[in-house]
A and B are shown apart, each in its own frame.
Chain A
Amino acid sequence: MTINVDRPCGTFDRNYYQAMEIFRTPLRKFLMIAFIVVMYILGFIADDYILSLLIVFCAFSVGMTGLQIITGYAGQISLGHAAFMGVGMYTVATFQAHLGFNFWMALPLAGLFPMIIGMVFGIPAIRIKGLYLAFASLAAHFVIVYVISNWRSVTNGTDGMYLHRPETLLGIDFMIDKYYYLLVLTITIIMIYFAKNLTRTRLGRAFVAVRDNDIAAEVMGINIAHTKILAFGIGCFYAGIAGALGGGYYEYVNIEWFTLTDSIWYLGFLVVGGLGSIFGAIAGAVVWKSLDELSTLMTPVTEALMGGMAFYASAAFTLIFYSLIVIVVLVLEPRGINHRWQIMKRSYRLHPFPY
Chain B
Amino acid sequence: MVATIGAATTSAASAKRVEERSTVVIRFAGDSGDGMQLTGTQFTNESALAGNDIATLPDFPAEIRAPIGTLAGVSGYQLNFSSGRVFTPGDDPDVLVAMNPAALRVNLADLVDNGILIVDTDAFTKANVRKAGYDSDPLEDPSLERVSVFKIALTKLTSQALKELGLPNKTVVRCRNFFALGLCSWLFTRPTEETLNWIAEKFKKAPQLVEANTLVFKAGWNYGETTEAFHSSYTVAPATGIEPGTYTNMIGNKALAYGLMAGAAKADKRLFLGTYPITPATDILHELASHKELGVITFQAEDEIAGVCSALGASFGGAIGVTTSSGPGIALKSEAIGLGVMVELPLVVVNVQRGGPSTGLPTKTEQADLLQALFGRNGESPVAVVAPCTPTDCFMAGYEAVATAIRYMTPVIVLSDGYLANGAEPWSIPKFAELPSIEAKFWTQSQGFHPYLRNEDTLARPWVVPGTPGFEHRIGGIEKDYASGNISYDADNHERMSRVRASKIERIAEDIPPARVEGSDTGEVLVIGWGSTYGAITEAVAQLNAEGIATGHLHFRWLNPFPRGVGSILKRFKHVVVPEMNLGQLIRLIRDRFLVDARPITKIQGQPFKVRELVEPIRALVEASK
A and B physically associate: no
Q: Which residues of B contact A (CB under 8 A)?
A: none
